[in-house]
Chains A and B, each alone.
Chain A
Amino acid sequence: MLDVVVFGGLELSPLVVYFPVAFLLAALTRLALHRLDWHDRIWRVAWFEVSLFVCYLALTVYLLGGR
């Protein structure tokens, strides 16, 4: 559960953790799609990847936020 991120006495929004985590997950998924050569099966890859990032972000907020 992550309410705030404290770094050297600075209190930051937990989004500074959630965003990189979601980005990393999206990048891993993109890599996996490339390796499996499934990119051709997706229409508008950019739309798909941005949407995937948003979904991962929501999932990260839900899980790490302890909700």
Chain B
Amino acid sequence: MTKYLRILVTVLMVVVAVFAGRWVWNDYMHSPWTRDGRIRADIVTVAPDVSGWVTNLNITNDQAVKEGDLLFSVDQQRYQAALSQSKANTENALYSWQLAKHKYERRTALLSQKAISAEDLESSRISTEIAKANYDLAVSQQTTAQLNLNRTQVRAPVSGHIINLNLRQGNYVSQGVAVFSIVRSGSFYVTGYFEEAKIPLVHLNQQAKITLLSGGKPLTGHVASIGKAIANTNTQSNSQLLPQVQQTFNWVRLSQRIPVDITLDPSNDERHLSAGMTATIHLTQ
């Protein structure tokens, strides 16, 4: 009897260990969690719409700005001169139009006295139309010149914080070339890179617990979207747009990582978040 009891105790322990080991395996391998998470935010790059020297820099690095705040000014002289030229052109075109109109009206009266040919009158009418078109063209050019002058004042497109400001007063900036970025306020979210084998366990609106590398109370959020595509590093197209497929002979294949975006709940306390921070994400099953 004692012998059977000895065997029973050991066998029981082995059976319990099998179930416990299976639970640990499932907990690690088949539950929706990842240590490969990153804090992210909406980044808006700021580029001047006109080229020129920076005459006035109103911001410092990491400074908070509100939408519409003046960030920096580009030298206005060239754009001011262009506007004056456009205004003069507009005035010139206006007077030319008035003159052409006056001539046309006078010639219309002459036609009734048979003092002018119909062809001359038609020519005069067309000249008036050309003068009007020239005036419209001059007005649009003036509008563009005014717009360029206004765009020398570069304003914040969104509220947020300035990032990576290397711009200095006196630098030359070029049209369309970004000079720094703004991290939009309240736009922080988390992206978790989940193994493709775990994607069936991820659902929209699933609750998420996010632990930062820096520790502290975990943040909470909800799954907002699951990435629909990632790049295939195994295939490229050649010059004839035919797929060049690399031959693979690996016995071990790594599962791909699919990005899953998680929005943070508003209930989270005001903790300092920086885009790029590392996070561990657990989703409820």
Residues of A within 8 A of B (CB): 3-4, 6, 11, 13, 41-44, 47-48, 50-52, 54-55, 57-59, 61, 65, 67
Contacts and interface: CB of A to CB of B under 8 A. Distances in A.
Interface string B1-34: 0110111011001101100110110010000000
Contacts of B7: 43
A13 B36 CA distance: 12
Given A6-B215, A67-B27, A41 B16 contact: no
Contact of A51 (B2, B17, B23): B17
Contacts of A41: 2, 5-6, 9
Nearest to B23: A58
A48 B14 CA distance: 7
Interface of B: 2-3, 5-7, 9-10, 13-14, 16-17, 20-21, 23-24, 27, 35, 211, 213, 215, 278, 280, 282
Contacts of A52: 13, 17
A4 B213 contact: yes
Contacts of A11: 35, 213, 278
A47 B10 contact: yes
A50 B280 CA distance: 31
Q: Dominant SS at the A interface?
A: helix
B173 to A, nearest CB: 37
Given A42-B10, A44-B10, A67-B27, A58 B20 contact: yes
Contacts of A4: 35, 211, 213, 280
A57 B215 CA distance: 24
Contacts of B16: 51, 55
26 contacts: A3-B211, A3-B280, A3-B282, A4-B35, A6-B215, A13-B35, A41-B9, A42-B9, A42-B10, A43-B6, A43-B10, A44-B10, A47-B10, A47-B14, A48-B9, A51-B13, A51-B16, A52-B13, A52-B17, A55-B16, A57-B20, A58-B21, A58-B24, A59-B20, A65-B27, A67-B27
B35 to A, nearest CB: 6
Contacts of B213: 4, 6, 11
Contact of B20 (A6, A47, A55, A65): A55
A48 B5 CA distance: 13
Closest 5 CB pairs of A and B: A51-B17, A58-B20, A54-B17, A43-B6, A51-B13
